[in-house]
Structures are given as structure tokens and as C-alpha cells.
Copies of this chain bind each other. A is one copy, B any other.
Amino acid sequence: MLPTNNLVGPMLTDYYQLTMAYAYWKSGRQDEPAVFDLFFRKNPFGGEFTLFAGLEEVLRMVSNFRFTKSDIEYLKNGVQQTEENLEKQFNRALEDGLIRKTENGYEQYVFTEDESPKWIPVKQPKRNSKVKAPMAHCENEFFTWLKSIDCSKIKIKAFREGSLVFPRLPLIRVEGPIAIAQLLETPILTLINYPCLVATKAARMRLAAGKDKNLMEFGLRRAQGPDGGVSASRYSYIGGFNSTSNVIVGKTFGIPISGTHAHSFVSSFTSLDEVKNTMLKDSKGNEHDIKELALKFRSELGYTSTNDGELAAFISYAMAFPSEFLALADTYDIMKSGIPNFMSVALALNSIGYKPLGIRIDSGDLAYYSKEIRKFFKDIDKKYSNGFSKLLIVASNDIDESTIDSLNNQHHEINSFGIGTHLVTCNGQPALGGVYKLVEFNGQPRIKISQEVGKMTLPGRKTPYRLYGKEGYAILDLMISDDEEPPKKGEKILCRHPLNPEKRVYVIPEKVEPLHYCVWDGKRTISEEPLGKTRDYCLKQLSSWREDHLRTLNPTPYKVSVSDHLYNKMYELRQKETPIETIG
């Protein structure tokens, strides 16, 4: 499978990855074996958990990791595009009238300096076809090598996508020739950081809203680029959302899509005359005039002067979606126009056997209006005994975790939240600081010493396990060195804080769960998991996790420990690598 986004590949990277590749190659070290860990140092949003997401796209990227001929052409010669391509573009522009033939050659209509657009001479092919070649001074042999590399010598272990993860755990461990393993850094981080962040944000919103609420992702237009939108939809589904408004995500990943209509639809109608065809068939094939019925119910309800354009829009929408009628009720005045107009059409539909869905509001005091609307629905239900007290109330408008908490405190009556900006931009923490660090080179564990103790890396090949207690809850995660025996159920295990020598605890686990799986060994070793399964896995973990770890206010940190052996190994390495200063 190709990466979802055509921009993903070895060129979606920081230039220093290529300069380092060249430096490794130049010194003949490109194939020396290295191990890198991907981890983060702090859970996002002030919380104490993170969801692991993005792995499937990493595997697709790794499967297709190859520099193309044109990539090499750019690096070596600064050629951006093939001449053939440029010629095609030129001819297309000529055809479209954007380039014209003159006596002296060709002219193109384009802005110049701070001037309005005008016709200026252009050569065939286009001027900017060549730019400065970034790696002009490198040997041909280097480019031959670069063209030849792929991930057939790479091995990747990782957590299962959708796992609950914590600071310092090696979410992904990449082993292989250093130059290639290093080249994978930027694409992997780019494909992991945001997915983890937005899946976590979505899960936090799910926890705030409760299991029974319907959560819809509506953020495409506020996302950071088209792919930000697509990633947001995909990974917020994993984190517990029910659907997205994003159509291409529905098509590509099979996620349910949802949506009704916009204010512009309502304001495009100004009078009832504008709805032409209003005859709707019931299940027996008999035709009824929905407009007439709606007007009858409107007067029955005692409303004579709601906005007619709005009513026309609702009737028109109901004609198109009689079985899925959900109306946006706040274009003019929610209680004086939107709700009565909705109700007139809903009663009309109901009278000929269609069940309306409900309403959406996108402005105002959502707690207050949801309660007023519910009261209105209940009164109607009392009058007509039609079950309308259960009609859906959908709310959108700048909703964040804290909005949901506040709505809960006010006993809102909302069934369904449409959430956009704050979800897709990950309000509160716009980036997860995931990093990718060298932990072993040529068989020797490597460590990054830092004056900030928290920034120290954990050296060597490590495997993480999750230890569970008697009550079925996870107690802590334990990393052991690859040269140790895995922890066993029922054994007394000394678990140590990675850096603080006094923080130690014995655990006798009821269950030991390995957390790393081999996902790539020169080729994919595991099939793609349907998104729905990843979502189920994710939600199952969240519902079986100790609540104090998940709550918003002062959550309890979940422990990530190392074995005594790993602790000692690390301690020795730190002692060795930190120089002792001589004073005086």
C-alpha cells in the first residue's frame, strides 16, 4: 500500500538527514548497525496518558522508501522537473491562453514586482526549472548508493497502534544500517507526532463527554493543511469519535461521515414561494403536500410569524432527506423561529410516517438552549405522544474538553457534539515532542548526557512489558534490557525509576503483557488492521484503565520503570560518559 499522502517518502525530511547520510557514506560507516528509539518525554494536555497512533502510515512509508531518479536529479543537479513535464505544462498554458505567442516569442500573463498582472516575455521551457543543487559537490558514487537504498535491512519493533503509552517508552525501535535508520527519523516523527496528539485529544474529549454521547469531527477547514484535516479525522476516530464530516476520509478509511446543512442554505431562501415541488410520497406511495402540512402544524403550534425563508429551507431539505431530517436551527432566532419551524416540518414528516432526527445549534449558550429545546420537545411529545422528547440535539461552536465539562455541570441536554478547531489544532498543546534517539551503535549502548536529567536517553535495546495486578488494572510498565529474561507472572520483580535511585518498588504481577511487536523485518510482518478494530482496542484499554490516571484534574502519573539490570547498566554508562571536572 502506498502512503495516503503523495508527499510522504524519503524526501519529506530534514535536509540534515541527507548531509549526515553523505558524511556517513563518505567515511564508509553507512552500514554500521545502529538502534534508534522513538519516545516522548511528557504526556500532552497536562494529562497522564497518550495514545499511540500513526504506525500504519509509517509502515507504508517504510515499504515504499526509495529515492526516485528525479529526487537524485534535484539533489545533484538542482533540476526540479523533467523537461518533458515542463514542456507539457508550457503547452497546457499555451492552450489555456495563459501564455501567448507574439512576434518575438512567447509572453505570459503574470504579476510582476508590485505591479498588477501584465504580459511579460517567457522562454520555453519555463525559467525556474533549475535551482541551486543542494548536494552538487557530492560524488556520483554517493548518488548511486542513495538511489540503491531501501528498508530491506531495517527491523522495526513497535507498540500496537491504538495502545496507551507513556513517557520514555520506546514506541518504535528501529534497527539497521545507521545511514538508513537515520534517514527514517524525520518521516517517522512526522507520521507519529501529530497522530498521537490528536488521538489523545479525541480520547480526552470522549472521556469528558461520556460513553453515550455522539462525537463528530468537523474540523477540516480549520486544520493545518489538507493532510492535517485528513489525519485529524482518521485519528480522532481511533481515539473514540463516532464520525467525521470529512468525505474523503469516509471514502478512504470507511469511517462514518455526518453532516446536515449550513447557514447559507437557509439564507438562500427568502420566501415560501421558492420551494416549488413539495409533494412527498409516504411508504404506501400516497403523495402529501409537506408545505401545506408544515403550515398547518405551524399554526396549530401557535406560530404565525417565524422566518418564512427558514421554513422554506427546512421544507426543501426535508424533501431531499425525509428519513434523515436534521435542521440547523440558529440562522435567525433559535426559540422564536428555528425550533418552531423545525417542529412544523418534523410534525409534517411524522404525520406521513417519516421519523425526523432532530436539530443542530451552532451558537449561543449551548447549555441553556439545549435545556429549553428539550423542554419544547417534551411538551410536543406530551401533546402528540409521538416520542419527540427523544429527538436529537446536536451542538457545535468552539467546543473543547473544558466546554464539555462545563456543559456537564449545567446538566445540558445535548446528544451529539460537532467538534472542529480545538480538536484538530490540539488546543492546549499543538505539538507532541516525540524524539528519535540513537541508543546503540556498533553493538555498544549509547547515551545522550544532558544537564537536564529528564532529557537523558535510556541506552541500549530495551523491551517494554505491562504488569497487571490482582484487580485487573495495569500497575506499571517495565523496560528490560534485551539480554534479560522477560518478567514472569507470579514472580517478585524489582522495578526501578530510570533515574532516581531511591524510587523502587517490588511487583508480583498477575499478568505480564509484552508491548513490543515486530512489525517490519526487511518487509511488513503484519497486515493492516481495520480502523474500527484499532478504535475498539483503544476504547477497551481506556475503559479498563484506572480512572485516576485518566482524569483531567490532577491525574495520577502511571509508572514507567526499568529493571534493576537496566538501571545499573545505565548508571555505569552515565558515570563513564560524564566527565569529572577538576576545580582549582
Contacts and interface: CB of A to CB of B under 8 A. Distances in A.
B112 A12 contact: no
B20 A265 contact: yes
Contacts of A437: 263-264
Given A116-B514, A431-B425, A320 B19 contact: yes
Contacts of A89: 1
A286 interface: no
Interface string A282-308: 000000000000000000000001010
B117 A259 contact: no
Given A4-B7, A230-B225, A267 B446 contact: yes
Given A12-B246, A268-B34, A231 B220 contact: no
Interface centre among A70, A132, A268 (most CB of B within 10 A): A268
Interface string A441-478: 10010111110000000000000000000000000000
A149 interface: no
B15 A247 contact: yes
A16 interface: yes
Interface centre among A250, A277, A446 (most CB of B within 10 A): A250
Interface centre among A93, A131, A252 (most CB of B within 10 A): A131
Interface in A224-268: 224-232, 245-248, 250-252, 254, 256-265, 267-268
A5 B225 contact: yes
B224 A224 contact: yes
Interface stretch (A186-194, A203-211, A371-379, A546-554): A186-194
Contacts of A34: 268
Interface centre among A160, A265, A332, A450 (most CB of B within 10 A): A265
Contacts of A19: 259-261, 317, 320-321
A255 B222 CA distance: 26
Interface string A1-22: 1001111110111111111101
A527 B20 contact: no
B223 A71 contact: no
Nearest to A18: B247
B14 A251 contact: no
Number of this chain's copies in the complex = 2
Given A221-B186, A517-B117, A226 B526 contact: no
B74 A220 contact: no
A98 B527 contact: yes
Given A23-B316, A110-B526, A527-B98, A220 B186 contact: yes
A529 interface: yes
A425 B223 CA distance: 10
Contacts of A321: 19, 22-23
A311 interface: no
Given A110-B526, A225-B225, A446-B268, A320 B22 contact: yes
Contact of A260 (B16, B223, B251, B263): B16
A17 B307 CA distance: 23
Given A228-B227, A541-B114, A268 B438 contact: yes
Given A225-B227, A260-B16, A268 B441 contact: yes
